[in-house]
């Protein structure tokens, strides 16, 4: 499937992106029910202990495979250099290295940076991100450039009543100037409007964060207005500017 600016996302991967979480939940329900039913029938049918443990091991092994397969479905290629993938626990060291090596660069605009002082600080957060994805309510994913983790891309929520959402992003200092965020969001927007049939996408930036503001402006977003002193950063308030893009804007561009 050809997307805007020759960005590609295979239809099969796009379908898995939405359907995988629900498939995972249904399979988990079935497997757990079988496990509990089998366990409760142990005394009635007098299965040898080793047979019971063997069945339990097989069931748990299948559960792990289901979870691994379902979560791994969220991964797609933007272009030959850029890919996006959902964060999982085994990424925490790599993600922490991205944050730590860009700490001064990121903390100017992100209040949470100082709260991430080790990979262990990410352990309770990553399951929340995965749960949001499983609930079909946004995601937090890594951006890779030529295989290296260089940034993050987040869908903050999905308001299904109004078919709207909000996008957030960050990029390492060394990866700037290559159009990585612009290309990644362009691919994501095409998916949100054409595959998920959303109607409105917002991006909010600090007024003084000129590099961040350049992203929605390059992608054709409309500047809606400024929230005065809408964000507290360490020792001062920042004005926040809101940009929006409608499905009709994107389709007719």
Would you state the pLDDT for residue 53?
54
Stated pTM of the model:
0.73
Pairing mode, strands 236-246 and 2-3: unpaired
* Of residues 75, 38, 79, 45, the one with CA closest to residue 182: 79
Predicted confidence pLDDT, tens digits, the chain (253 residues):
333 333 333 333 333 343 344 445 444 544 444 444 444 444 444 445 445 555 556 555 555 555 554 544 467 899 999 999 999 999 999 999 999 999 999 999 998 999 999 999 999 999 999 999 989 899 999 999 999 999 999 999 999 999 999 999 999 999 999 999 999 999 999 999 999 999 999 999 999 999 999 999 999 999 999 999 999 999 999 999 999 999 999 999 8
Would you state the pLDDT for residue 184?
97
> Can you give the residue range of the structural domain that contains 86?
2-252
Would you state the pLDDT for residue 143?
98
The tokens for 219 are 């992608």
Would you state the pLDDT for residue 75?
78
For the chain, how many structural domains are there in total?
1
Would you state the pLDDT for residue 126?
94
Would you state the pLDDT for residue 251?
92
162 burial via Cβ count (<10 Å: 0-12, 13-18, 19+): exposed
Which residues partner with 169 through β-bridges?
153
Would you state the pLDDT for residue 76?
83
CATH number at residue 230: 3.40.630.30
- Where b means 16+ CB within 10 Å and e means fewer, 133-147 reads bbeebbbbbbbbbee
Report the alpha-carbon distance of residue 15 to residue 191 in Å, rounded: 10
150 burial via Cβ count (<10 Å: 0-12, 13-18, 19+): buried
């Amino acid at each position: 499937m050809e997307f805007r600016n020759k960005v590609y996302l295979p239809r099969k991967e796009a379908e898995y992106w939405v359907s995988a979480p629900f498939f995972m939940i249904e399979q988990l329900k079935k497997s757990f029910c079988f496990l509990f039913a089998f366990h409760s029938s142990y005394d009635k049918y007098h299965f040898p202990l080793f047979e019971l443990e063997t069945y339990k091991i097989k069931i748990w092994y299948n559960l792990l495979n289901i979870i691994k397969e379902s979560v791994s479905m969220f991964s797609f290629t933007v272009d030959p250099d850029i890919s996006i993938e959902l964060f999982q626990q085994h990424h925490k060291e790599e993600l922490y290295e991205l944050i730590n090596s860009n700490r001064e660069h990121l903390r100017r605009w992100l209040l949470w940076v100082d709260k991430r002082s080790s990979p262990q600080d990410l352990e309770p957060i990553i399951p929340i991100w995965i749960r949001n994805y499983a609930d079909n309510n946004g995601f937090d994913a890594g951006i890779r450039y030529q295989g290296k983790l260089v940034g993050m891309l987040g869908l903050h929520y999905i308001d299904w009543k109004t078919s709207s959402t909000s996008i957030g992003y960050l990029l390492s200092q060394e990866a700037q100037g290559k159009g990585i965020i612009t290309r990644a969001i362009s691919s994501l927007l095409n998916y949100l409007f054409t595959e998920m049939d959303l109607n409105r996408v917002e991006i909010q930036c600090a007024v003084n964060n000129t590099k961040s503001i350049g992203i929605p402006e390059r992608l054709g977003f409309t500047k809606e207005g400024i929230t005065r002193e809408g964000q507290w950063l360490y020792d001062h308030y920042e004005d926040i500017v809101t940009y929006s893009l409608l499905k009709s804007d994107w389709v007719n561009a």
